[in-house]
Chain A
Amino acid sequence: MNKVYFLFSLLSFAFVYFIPKQDSSFQTPSYFPKPYYDFKKNPLSESKIALGRKLFYDPRLSRNGSISCANCHSPYNAFAHTDHALSHGIDDSIGTRNAPALFNLAWQPLFMWDGAINHLDMQSLFPITHPKEMGENFTHLIEKLNKDSTYQELCYEAYHNRLISGEYVLKSLSQFMLSLVSTNAKYDSVQLHQALYTEQEQRGHELFLLHCNSCHTEPLFTNFSFQNNGLPVDTFLNDSGRYLVTKKSSDSLCFKVPSLRNLEYTYPYMHDGRFANLQAVIKHYINEKIASPTLSNLLIEPITLNDHEQIDLIAFLLTLNDPSFVFNKKYAYPKN
């Protein structure tokens, strides 16, 4: 009988020990759409998120150990790079686009400002290997990680395998990024009838629905489309956006519509970070758009907002800030 009990205990232990702990944190409000990411192919677990979090903050992912993902995606800036118009990389390189904020990525079908990357799992390969970002060879990175006992241990906890593969690294980085969910702004409290807009915010919300919501669609505040929003071409960068991926003339100067959540933390704005503040962004949409064959149909009609309305609109946009996301220790640098 003792033997049976012992065997049962052993099996129970093995079951508990070897099944990664399932993370139930991926809960989203009822008014959110279904996520795009296929969790069946990469089910979230605490141990995989932990591995991804360590990787995200580790500068050894770069060629010379100087740059981590968090260098350009800082948690205090909703994982964007505040105050830097263009991303900074290895050896003080300057990129050609603004580092985007990272949150609510489970709903995003395509990645990068031009949609060049078709899956969140494969997104990390771009900055890791780009000569102006982290400049590392992916095969070499996996060799480096396999020499580190801490990573071997974390990999074993996550995948029951000490041998770290490219697949494990990419999926774990995805897991951490998928865990970055921001759904706790004042806007969300209003949706859940737990708060009310001020009169000014309410007026701003009405203006938002009239002028902005077609592309920056609630509740994610983007429809994930690619649009030419009428920015004059920067003749130095000469960036034609989605055209570089599709080679279709209709995609020339089109860039991904970004989410407006956490807007206050993620300045400067636009794909090349040309606008330092929201006033400049609104001014662009009111009277600085450049007409061109690919200008978004939704922006051909002039937008008229007086000074008061502009302030009202900004008051609403600030209800999209989610301080509980930005200062969540769960997403911060892992101290242990």
Chain B
Amino acid sequence: MKYLLPFIVLLIYTENIKAQHSLGIQYRASYEDKKLTLNHVYAYFDTSTIVFSKLRFYISNIQCKQKGAVVFSESNSYHLLDLSDEKSFFISIPNLFKLSFDEIQFDIGIDSTTNSSGALGGDLDPIHGMYWTWQNGYINLKLEGSCPQAASPTHVFEFHLGGYQSPYNSLQTIHLIVEKPHEPFYINFALNAWVKQIDFQKTHHVMSPSATSVFLSQLLQNCFSLKYK
């Protein structure tokens, strides 16, 4: 009898995870396998530290595939994920998990057609500060923070990555294999895998479409993974 209460709690917890799982896709940002918290001091390699003050990025064009064939394609699929608003990391897609699929695909950023479509609303409204006003285009991803290695006056780094026109198209398409489709999972963005590839001595401010923006965006390819809860 004394084990009943923990059992019920566990049952409710598990059911909650399953219920949430059935309603959409959960994203998570992590640093060294721990959930990322803004303005927290993390170790950067063995000898230094790093702090993140802002992380915002677009997830768009979500598709699910079964044996290479698209079985689901979200309409109006533009989502701004902002770490300061935890709710934004959950993308609601009711009924998604009634489908069978073995692959999830999504873009980090905004495609060129949408970039040339004029004023748009919702998550694409320029009031969210994810649009370059002086030269058109959405900012696909913003990461800001500080690191003693950053060779800027206050050791601040600001990466505003974007660009939708050749040769600086920075949009990245991520493909993730779903091996256990019926188990709750989340999509993890491992920040440590990304920032540890950046030479902060040389690169600490990227604020426009450029070769550096493309390079840093390409590094994102290895930072997203599917993890089971």
A residues whose Cβ falls under 8 Å from a Cβ of B: 38, 41-42, 116-122, 125-126, 128-130, 138-139, 142, 165-168, 170-171, 174, 245
Contact = CB atoms under 8 A, between A and B. Distances in A.
Contacts of B115: 118
Interface residues of B, number: 17
A142 B126 CA distance: 10
Interface of B: 115-121, 125-129, 131, 133-136
A167 B133 CA distance: 14
B122 to A, nearest CB: 8
Nearest to A137: B129
A119 B126 contact: no
A125 B138 CA distance: 13
Given A42-B118, A165-B125, A170-B126, 15 more contacts: A42-B119, A116-B134, A118-B116, A119-B118, A121-B118, A122-B119, A122-B126, A125-B131, A129-B133, A129-B134, A165-B121, A166-B121, A166-B125, A170-B118, A245-B135
A138 B136 CA distance: 15
A121 B118 CA distance: 5
10 contacts: A117-B135, A118-B136, A119-B117, A122-B126, A122-B133, A125-B133, A129-B133, A138-B129, A171-B119, A174-B118
A41 B117 contact: yes
Contact of A166 (B117, B126, B134, B136): B126
Secondary structure type dominating chain A contacts? helix
Given A116-B135, A130-B134, A122 B127 contact: no
Contacts of A122: 118-119, 126, 131, 133, 136
Interface of chain B: mostly helix, strand, loop or mixed: loop
B118 A139 contact: no
A175 to B, nearest CB: 11
A119 B125 contact: no
A166 B118 contact: no
Nearest to B118: A121
A121 B117 CA distance: 9
B113 to A, nearest CB: 11
Contacts of B126: 122, 125, 138, 166, 170
B215 to A, nearest CB: 16
B160 to A, nearest CB: 14
B118 A126 contact: no
B134 A126 contact: yes
Contacts of B120: 167
Given A122-B118, A167-B120, A116 B127 contact: no
A138 B133 contact: yes
Contact of B127 (A38, A142, A245): A142
